[in-house]
Structure 1
Amino acid sequence: MPATIKMLCTFVLALFFFKVKVQDDSFIRDIIESVAENLSEDYDLSELTERLTNYRKHPINLNQTNPEELKSLLFLSPLQISNFFNHIKANGKLLNILEIQSIDGFNLQTINRLIPFVTLKAPPSISNLSYKDLAKKGNNDLIFRYGRLFQTQKGFTSLPGSKYLGTPDKLLMRYRYAYKALLSASLVAEKDAGEYFTNNKTGLDHLSGNIAINKLGFFKKIVLGDYSLQFGQGLALWSGFAFGKGPDVTSVASKDVGLRPYSSSNEASFFRGIATTVNLTQNIDLSTFISFRKRDASLKNNDGFVTLQNIGITGLHRTATELKNQRSLSQFVYGAALQYLSSNLNLGFTTYQSSYQHEFTTGTSLYNKYAFTGKNLVNTGFHYSYTFRNIYFYGETAHSLNSGWAIVNGAMASLSKQVSAVLLHRNYDKDYHSFFGNGVGEATEISNEKGWYIGLNYAPSKRWILSAYGDFFKFPWLRYRVDSASSGYEVLGQATYTPTKTFKILARYKREIKQQNADASSNYPHLQDVNKQNYRIEGNWQLNKNIGFQQRIEVAHYKKGSVNEFGYLAYQDMNFQLLPFKVTGNIRLAYFNTPSYNSRLYAYEDDVLYGSSFGSYYSKGFRTFINLRYRVLRDMDVWGRYAIYAYNDVEKIGSGLDEIEGNKKSDFKVQVRYQF
């Protein structure tokens, strides 16, 4: 690989010609890219950016906050949060926000991230509000978004069989009202490409909304409409986005935030009904919830007896079959979570029942032998966390009644001011079931897995941050495309160098080995190792106050049996501000070359506000996009985005109904945001 090494060396030398300003959202890039390969390409991750944008407008009062609120900031570890409240308990309220520098575990990077989202000003009480306050002092945020592909996909042509019945337009409308952190309301309507905007069966294809009230007497939270629930380590009950393994090794300790109003356009991961969190005593909260909604499902009718094998989560209703499956299954969920919450000890018990209109069946594949069957499932879970000096212990034990168990236990420690470490063990039975679980693991479901994880963060100086983890896992039972018990491991090492506030360079190595059946063309009778390795180097700099750059080169190595592939990705990003014209934006030029989908690479892509994109780069060609934001009025912004893939030596792109004739795939978005 001499050519690749030469490119890497040239790239490194080029970085030192500039001084840079580190991008504030680099940790969001890392989070999204670390989970990208396990998500569909249209998965909505807007919750991440929306949550942080909201806290920029309405900062958290550090003297009146709670662990739940600080967990929602994403980048604070549970140990840092526990240390913060121990500091408040020992020293009283903060008089100056810079006092957080003296708290154990709050390094310079964490403090710089935290300051934009916090304050020491006390918020108003909802009991003192008037209708005039709500009307005049509340914030209204209205967004309209339109997008579509320029090329015609096969599903929109005159086919004799299955085809897309709706238009190729993508539409989104989102409205949000908020008064401080006390009262909020939201409404989201969306149509995907290929769908009808309305149909006779459901009206609007997707409509979601809620009203949420916080801090109303002994009611900490009340949500009517759509909401998410996140408790413990996600083994028993967790809806919505969750972190996993990533370059921040503390991310394997889930940050549960309990009950939250739901405002994403993702059509699967939410509850619909009413939920409350009540403060029973100073340290004890009770959350109760009830939800009823229609889910997409593929049903099978055997002489009048209807069964199902899985629930649809794509939210796509483009073809006659997808429309038939739309909202064809009733789902009823109810339960409660009781929690004891203090500065260094949290205990919680969760129980709920999920009931479905039709019975689940397992199918004929042997790996599905222990899959859930029936109509009703009861889940229970006990979770804990305890801080003793500089060690944070946490875990959860969950049980699906009449079947298996899932257990996770971990410890996070500040070994010194420079070193922090995480150790985690998990044991998920092959017959544990949860429709709303999202725990740490290698597989997509919390079952049939045992593993050990160890991670280390080391900051030898203000300029260097070193991170590494190793995850070793086993699957005792069969899995899809794995016809016997299997095992594997994943390791990652990353070094970040920031010599000044205006310069950053990062290098990363990741290796993952799993076992899988041999390919159909092979006569090999046993499992084969699937070896994936990634080498990355990137840098950020700010040429001046109006122009900034990011560069990356990444190499992927895929090996399975006789298949041996190398994939390459190199891109240049530029962020710019044209202040006299009230225009800001960013642009990318990327080149990628991978022999197949096996050696694909992922990279976060900037998008319109609350949009989220992570490009999947495979085959051979170029990728470019440009985002522009124009401030039309003080309260109105317009975004525009154009993106294109240009592939080499191909006559068709995609497959099935998504197939496009030619070698180019391009799309655009236009978004208008009005705040009043």
Structure 2
Amino acid sequence: MFSYFLSKQQHKLLALFIVLLVGSFFSTVRAQDYPRPAIDIDNFIQELFSVQSEDINYEDVYETLFQFYRSPLNLNTASREDLESLFVLSELQINSLLKHININGKLLSIYEIQAIPHFDATTIYRLLPFVFVRPAGLYIDARPLWQRILRERESNYLILRYDRVLQKKKGFTPADTNSKGEPNSRYAGSPGRMYTRYRISHRKDFSLGFTVEKDDGEQLTWDTRTRRYGADFLSFHAFVENQGRLKALALGDYQLQFGQSLLLAGGFNIGKGAETVQTIRRSNLGIRPYTSTLESGFFRGVAATYQFNRIEVTGFYSYNLMDANVLNSGDTLSQTEAFIQSFQTSGFHRTATEINAKGNIGERIVGSNVLYRSKDRNFQAGAIMLHTRYSKELKREDRIYNRFEFNGQENYNLGAHLSYNWQNFTFFGEGAQSKSGGRGAVAGFVSSLAPHIELAMLYRNFDKNFHSFYGSALGEGSRNINEEGIYWGIKVRPFKKIQLAAYYDRFRFPWLRFQADAPSSGHEFLARASYKFSRQVQLFGQYREEVKQKNQPNNSSNIDFLINTTRRNYIINLNYRMPRTLTLHSRLQMSSYQEGDMPITQGYALVQDVGFKVGKFTIDIRFSLFDTEDFNNRQYVFEKDVLWAFSIPAYSGVGFRNYALVRYRLSRKINIWLRYAQFSYRNQNTVGSGLEEIQGSVRSEIKAQVRIKF
């Protein structure tokens, strides 16, 4: 009735007013999004890993965290698996968030999480870099996929990197001769490592990219006979997800993770560390593009996931060439046949022996996973089938400790997995069997007993003849075989600024292992206490003890006896951060090692890091000294490096380790990194061994990288 009395001109003014009012409302809602703080991913990773190790794929960890930061989760649409994979929220906090959204509707602003029960200031601060809030459906990108790819600006970049050791290694010196007059082995290629990577991606939508790498000592050559085509390692992937019922499709190189990683593990698997509760559980991440430079442990082919109501079906096919030592049968009464003696997983192809082992074995894998999710997503159950076949038969060297290891040409696995969320408990488990009849199983729970108490337990049992080539469930060994154990982890926050964390892991190995000629056992214990003086200053102390059994050294009898080896690690760490200006990290690492009743040996590393920003420059410097009595007391210390590169060297011997890392922001689209690092040893005339040996007491490295964003 009111509009009846308005003129035509007034109608236009009223319509314009309404448009402006609605537009200003949504602009206000969007403006209420808290500006996501920058995150020091290097420091975040150090908090997750209690003791650094050269066996962990930090590149994959860094990649996953960085993708979460560049393409954060929308809390209004994030699934339970997404929230679990951040390793920031407890079961109680995840349940509180999902319950709040279910009762009150979608979040309108990131500030609303302050009103969610059990979300304390520390948790919110750690969570903010990886999440945002946007009303569901308000900013849906309806453009066709090809337009989204062509116009992606947030994550569209090219990286070029070069690094090398300045001193000459023995592998690059002229070849001398051995006692038979034959030339000794040398590296075929030039010094220096070259790396190129291009990727365009948007989380939960698509990813396209390739990686090219040449390691130090490898050749840039085109030789089809040795399967070398320019650079030594080439990787490519094309990946889309959430295209209607097609949940994921990967072409090229990819990874798979289902269940508790007993059969298929890929991506962000941490295991035992300073995060004593959340990291023991695995999530059904499904298909993920492979972007690492590790030259093994991935699939090459095609994989797809399709959804039928509450059931997701994944099928995958892979054919990849693997490095292996291939020998010919010496049986003259039968036809000579080639067989595999061992696989080579280093990825190096520098010497004639390494080049001859490159890609000479074909591995074909076919498999599927069927996953059911309940309507409320609190219950999940799945089944996995996996078949692996090699182009040649594997015949391991006949040693008693590997009597039950895989031998043959093909293997298959059948398995099932489930998880169930009940109140503040999440129960999970997975079981599987291999062709040999060996079985493996993991089962456990993660819980929030109270707002400030978290508890976790995991039991695992892997038969001595259980064979899983792509599994990585939590365990003491690097592979899921010949092990039984139980893990308990707890985390307590008795006061606002204090957090206590601990775990105890008891394990045994029913069959013989390398350097343990009898069934053996052991345990591992970690305790960590941290105190946060303020948002800028944090102190933590940590103690870790590991006891294992091994053969008694220097034993002259015909029977090997086992002795206990005890390794203890101590860390005191102080962090100070002045936002956008200065960071200081001071750390003292100490260790001791003892075999049986032999004398205790010790080692330590004292580290001081300084980081500061000046204009367009970001500079990080380390000064450190170390003193270790033997290699058993080597100190692994995480070092800052250029983007997507990692340095975790072993500080062993007596000396100094220093580095300087400079980042220069040339423009909004171009960033440049330069890094110089040096080991300076005392009382040593050489550094390294074998073809990596350097004459003198100094080992220096330089690294340069440029990232161009499009």
Pair in the same fold by TM > 0.5: yes
CA distance in 2, matches of 1:651, 1:632: 42
Residue 73 of structure 1 aligns to a residue in which SS?
A: coil
Distance 1:425 1:102, change over 3 A: farther
| Paired position in structure 1 for 2:191 | 168
Residue 633 of structure 1 aligns to a residue in which SS?
A: coil
Structure 2 counterparts to residues 525-674 of structure 1, below 5 A = 525-542=560-577, 545-561=580-596, 562-579=598-615, 582-674=616-708
Residue 655 of structure 2 aligns to a residue in which SS?
A: strand
Distance 1:522 1:105, change over 3 A: farther
**CA-based RMSD:** 2.1
| Paired position in structure 2 for 1:328 | 360
Greater RCO structure (CA 8 Å; 6+ sep):
1
Determine whether 1:373 maps to 2:389. Answer: no
* Aligned 8 A contact 1:22 1:501 in 2: no
TM-score, normalised by the number of residues in structure 1? 0.92
| Paired position in structure 2 for 1:11 | none
* Aligned 8 A contact 2:448 2:455 in 1: yes
Of 133-142 and 154-163, the range deviating more from structure 2: 133-142
Determine whether 1:129 maps to 2:156. Answer: no
* Aligned 8 A contact 2:152 2:201 in 1: no
Structure 2 counterparts to residues 484-523 of structure 1, below 5 A = 484-520=518-554
| Paired position in structure 2 for 1:155 | 171
Counterpart pick for 1:285 among 307, 312, 322 = 312
Residue 196 of structure 1 aligns to a residue in which SS?
A: coil
CA distance in 2, matches of 1:74, 1:379: 30
Distance 1:37 1:544, change over 3 A: closer
CA distance in 2, matches of 1:313, 1:82: 42
**Cα shift at 1:350:** 1.0
* Aligned 8 A contact 1:482 1:517 in 2: yes
| Paired position in structure 2 for 1:54 | 67
Residue 109 of structure 1 aligns to a residue in which SS?
A: helix
Distance 1:433 1:87, change over 3 A: farther
Of 389-398 and 251-260, the range deviating more from structure 2: 251-260
Counterpart pick for 2:246 among 200, 203, 219 = 219
Of 544-553 and 409-418, the range deviating more from structure 2: 544-553
Distance 1:71 1:167, change over 3 A: farther
| Paired position in structure 2 for 1:350 | 384
Distance 1:83 1:192, change over 3 A: farther
| Paired position in structure 1 for 2:293 | 265
**Cα shift at 1:374:** 1.1
* Aligned 8 A contact 1:127 1:216 in 2: no
**Cα shift at 1:413:** 1.5
**Cα shift at 1:593:** 0.3
Counterpart pick for 2:77 among 56, 64, 87 = 64
Of 444-453 and 474-483, the range deviating more from structure 2: 444-453
| Paired position in structure 2 for 1:36 | 53
Of 316-325 and 381-390, the range deviating more from structure 2: 381-390
Distance 1:28 1:22, change over 3 A: same
One-letter code of the match for 2:588?
A: I
| Paired position in structure 1 for 2:43 | 26
Distance 1:241 1:307, change over 3 A: farther
CA distance in 2, matches of 1:622, 1:456: 37
Provide structure 2 residue ranges, at least 5 long, that are not aligned to the other structure.
1-37, 176-182, 331-335
Distance 1:274 1:78, change over 3 A: farther
CA distance in 1, matches of 2:461, 2:378: 26
Distance 1:319 1:387, change over 3 A: same
Distance 1:95 1:386, change over 3 A: same
| Paired position in structure 2 for 1:9 | none
* Aligned 8 A contact 1:145 1:669 in 2: yes
Counterpart pick for 1:230 among 257, 282, 290 = 257
Distance 1:544 1:422, change over 3 A: closer
Distance 1:432 1:87, change over 3 A: farther
* Aligned 8 A contact 1:236 1:399 in 2: no
Distance 1:24 1:47, change over 3 A: closer
Residue 293 of structure 2 aligns to a residue in which SS?
A: coil
Determine whether 1:143 maps to 2:162. Answer: no
Structure 2 counterparts to residues 476-487 of structure 1, below 5 A = 476-487=510-521
| Paired position in structure 2 for 1:299 | 326
Distance 1:425 1:104, change over 3 A: farther
Of 48-57 and 583-592, the range deviating more from structure 2: 48-57
Find the structure with the greater CA-based Rg. 2
| Paired position in structure 1 for 2:106 | 93
* Aligned 8 A contact 2:187 2:217 in 1: yes
CA distance in 1, matches of 2:320, 2:560: 46
CA distance in 2, matches of 1:660, 1:521: 34
Determine whether 1:193 maps to 2:216. Answer: yes
CA distance in 2, matches of 1:106, 1:379: 42
* Aligned 8 A contact 1:148 1:168 in 2: yes
One-letter code of the match for 1:266?
A: L
CA distance in 2, matches of 1:366, 1:327: 29
Deviations 1:470-490 (A, max 9, x none): 000111110000000111100
Distance 1:635 1:545, change over 3 A: closer
Of 427-436 and 336-345, the range deviating more from structure 2: 336-345
| Paired position in structure 2 for 1:393 | 427
**Cα shift at 1:548:** 1.2
Distance 1:669 1:109, change over 3 A: same
Counterpart pick for 2:275 among 248, 272, 276 = 248
Counterpart pick for 1:202 among 228, 241, 262 = 228
* Aligned 8 A contact 1:593 1:618 in 2: yes
Of 516-525 and 353-362, the range deviating more from structure 2: 516-525
Distance 1:77 1:310, change over 3 A: farther
**Cα shift at 1:35:** 5.5
CA distance in 2, matches of 1:628, 1:431: 50
Residue 51 of structure 1 aligns to a residue in which SS?
A: helix
* Aligned 8 A contact 2:52 2:648 in 1: no
**Cα shift at 1:520:** 3.0
| Paired position in structure 1 for 2:448 | 414
CA distance in 1, matches of 2:75, 2:509: 44
**Cα shift at 1:240:** 4.5
* Aligned 8 A contact 1:68 1:258 in 2: no
Distance 1:187 1:37, change over 3 A: closer
**Cα shift at 1:84:** 3.9
Distance 1:107 1:450, change over 3 A: farther
Deviations 1:413-463 (A, max 9, x none): 111111111111111111100110101111111111111111110001120
One-letter code of the match for 2:244?
A: G
TM-score, normalised by the number of residues in structure 2? 0.88
Residue 62 of structure 2 aligns to a residue in which SS?
A: helix
* Aligned 8 A contact 1:547 1:577 in 2: yes
Deviations 1:506-540 (A, max 9, x none): 00000000000011367695211100001110100
Distance 1:602 1:105, change over 3 A: farther
Residue 47 of structure 1 aligns to a residue in which SS?
A: helix
One-letter code of the match for 1:578?
A: V
Counterpart pick for 1:315 among 335, 347, 350 = 347
Of 239-248 and 420-429, the range deviating more from structure 2: 239-248
Of 257-266 and 247-256, the range deviating more from structure 2: 247-256
* Aligned 8 A contact 1:243 1:254 in 2: no
Distance 1:132 1:468, change over 3 A: closer
Deviations 1:188-228 (A, max 9, x none): 00010011123402203101011111111210111111100
* Aligned 8 A contact 1:210 1:224 in 2: yes
One-letter code of the match for 1:546?
A: T
| Paired position in structure 2 for 1:108 | 121
One-letter code of the match for 2:652?
A: Y
